[in-house]
Structure 1
Amino acid sequence: MKTDRNTRRTAVQEQDEEATEMVTSTGGQGPLEGAVIAVAGAAGPAGRATLLRLAEAGAVVVGSDSNPERLAEAVDAARYAHGGATVIGETVDLLDVDQAREWAARTEKEFGRVDGLVHLVGGWRGSSTFAETDLTDWETLHKLLVRTVQHTSLAFYEALERSGNGRFLLTSAAGASKPTGGNAAYAASKAAAEAWTLAMADGFRKAGGEQGPRAAAAILIVKALVNDQMRAERPNAKFAGFTDVTELAEAIAGVWSRPAQEVNGQRLWLTPEP
């Protein structure tokens, strides 16, 4: 496993100091100032936009991806756009539950806390009709869209609960609620990932007891995502109803401004509900 340690802090802050540090707004700072946020799938367009937005908000951002070259580019872009920001890239295979757990443990040990995990690992497979569905698509999407959610949520759950303001955020698709014949494998995978995330939210709810959850798991739902490269490649396309990756990143950053009890277990629609 490769790790870029050039931008890590020179010393790990003591656990007791970090435990008393508030992530919530103080002294005019925003709710993400000083927060430690992990981003899974950081090298894709949505990941790049999210790294930029979280760095801009003052968070310490620890991105992971399985593609080290693309990850390095994404980390460098966020780092250079926001001078002084702590943005780190780690090559992690999230299909390996041990690597996911090691990533979570290493991040908490290094920075004393973990305040968020943003899950942006994506992929799509489909067919023209339901009858033409290839079940190898399901096998691929189950790994990308379900297994990675399972591994990251289990790896980060306890750290997020300890944070006092932790968030697990899954990006999903409207098609999970209203699948089409050709999208059977994709919609089923997304629906499974959503159900898993809602179960995590119930865990946070029960752990919080009468005081309410100290952390939240929520789902941000889009029709589909679009970015500048897609527009350049298809200048005549309308991309009707698509959410720009910068809008998604803005919505992600905004979740920390809302109380955990308000967002825990919620589907946050960035597109009209079907």
Structure 2
Amino acid sequence: MSGVRADETGEARTMGNGTLDGAVIAVAGAGGPAGRAALLRLAEAGAVVVGSDNDPQRLAEAVDAARYAHGGATVVGEPVDLLDLASARRWADGIEEEYGRVDGLVHLVGGWRGSETFTKTDLDDWEVLERLLIRTVQHTSLAFHEALQRSDRGRYVLISAAGATRPTAGNAAYSAAKAAAEAWTLAMADWFRKAGGEQGPTSAAAILVVKALVHDAMRAERPNAKFAGFTDVKDLAEAVAGVWEKPAAEVNGNRLWLTEKP
């Protein structure tokens, strides 16, 4: 449930009343369908949302949509090259300098390449996926982990795929990249665990696992498709917000399944 408060101009604006109210959340890959849904849900919960994307126009449209849906919410966007560690660090440092804290990083940078069979795998696909699915995770995690540890509710949320656990023959490169991204995230979770000492972690790195994602435009393009086992981007956004509703120790280092385990 949302409440209402007045900003400095006296205008009323919606706000959340849960654990995300007033939180500062960064969303990487904010311009895609999943990113748009996440911006909307986090803004609805009362968070300050800072999105990034490599497509400035797509990012601006996503930010405007979230602002329009939740009048008065603080939703901003910044084009960031997440393939460059220095750029990722500047983004993280700038958010903390501007808002005084960083309470979360939601990693929604995606990409897919597949092949007809295992033997027809094109290793050029690996070169692309390694950058999109692994390198960006490395850079965002290294850039944000210290600020997240300073937060009283820090969360790093990676979106992964069931194929990382049970790869299929035609998805060797994609599944391997997802598995590597998961391993990297779990290593960060171990750092949070150790940093928490005997009292347990105060911040967490968690993995949300889907089979695949679906959104309204996909349904419109393929009205007869069933999309069995797919997770709607709105449901994904709800699950992202839910990571903050659970204690850090409960989600840190865990795979949270949004589809049937293989």
TM-score (norm 2): 0.94
- In structure 2, the residue matched to 1:131 is 119
Given candidates 139, 143, 151, the residue that maps to 1:151 is 139
Residues 157-186 of structure 1: per-residue CA shift (max 9 Å, x gap): 000000011000000000110001110000
Please state if 1:94 is matched with 2:82. yes
Given candidates 123, 135, 140, the residue that maps to 2:128 is 140
Residues 75-104 of structure 1: per-residue CA shift (max 9 Å, x gap): 000000000100000000100100000000
- In structure 2, the residue matched to 1:111 is 99
Please state if 1:37 is matched with 2:25. yes
Amino acid at match of 2:67: R
Q: Distance in 2 between matches of 1:243 and 1:165?
A: 26
Q: Distance in 2 between matches of 1:107 and 1:173?
A: 29
Q: Distance in 2 between matches of 1:231 and 1:97?
A: 36
Segments of 5+ residues of structure 1 without an aligned counterpart are 1-8, 11-27
Q: Do the aligned residues in 1 keep the contact of 2:17 with 2:45 (CA within 8 Å)?
A: no
Tell me, what secondary structure is at the counterpart of 2:20?
A: coil
Q: Distance in 2 between matches of 1:165 and 1:234?
A: 40
Please state if 1:171 is matched with 2:162. no
Q: Distance in 2 between matches of 1:54 and 1:29?
A: 12
Residues 97-124 of structure 1: per-residue CA shift (max 9 Å, x gap): 0000000000000000000000000000
Q: Distance in 1 between matches of 2:163 and 2:152?
A: 33
- In structure 2, the residue matched to 1:239 is 227
Tell me, what secondary structure is at the counterpart of 2:78?
A: strand
Q: Distance in 2 between matches of 1:272 and 1:29?
A: 32
Deviation at 1:264, TM superposition (A): 0.2
Q: Distance in 2 between matches of 1:82 and 1:208?
A: 35
| Structure 1 vs Structure 2 CA RMSD | 1.1
Tell me, what secondary structure is at the counterpart of 1:63?
A: strand
The aligned runs of 1:193-204 (5 Å cut-off) are 193-204=181-192
Amino acid at match of 2:86: D
Q: Distance in 1 between matches of 2:199 and 2:212?
A: 36
Q: Distance in 2 between matches of 1:170 and 1:29?
A: 25
Amino acid at match of 1:187: S
- In structure 1, the residue matched to 2:246 is 258
Residues 211-252 of structure 1: per-residue CA shift (max 9 Å, x gap): 110100000000000000000001111100000000000000
The aligned runs of 1:64-103 (5 Å cut-off) are 64-103=52-91
Amino acid at match of 1:189: A
- In structure 1, the residue matched to 2:207 is 219
4+ aligned runs moved over 4 Å, structure 1 = none
Q: Distance in 1 between matches of 2:114 and 2:30?
A: 24
Tell me, what secondary structure is at the counterpart of 2:260?
A: coil
Task: Count residues with an aligned counterpart.
Answer: 249
Q: Distance in 2 between matches of 1:29 and 1:75?
A: 22
Q: Distance in 2 between matches of 1:45 and 1:100?
A: 22
Please state if 1:47 is matched with 2:35. yes
Q: Distance in 1 between matches of 2:156 and 2:62?
A: 21
Q: Distance in 2 between matches of 1:207 and 1:37?
A: 21
Tell me, what secondary structure is at the counterpart of 1:159?
A: helix
Please state if 1:267 is matched with 2:250. no
TM-score (norm 1): 0.90
Q: Distance in 2 between matches of 1:214 and 1:254?
A: 16
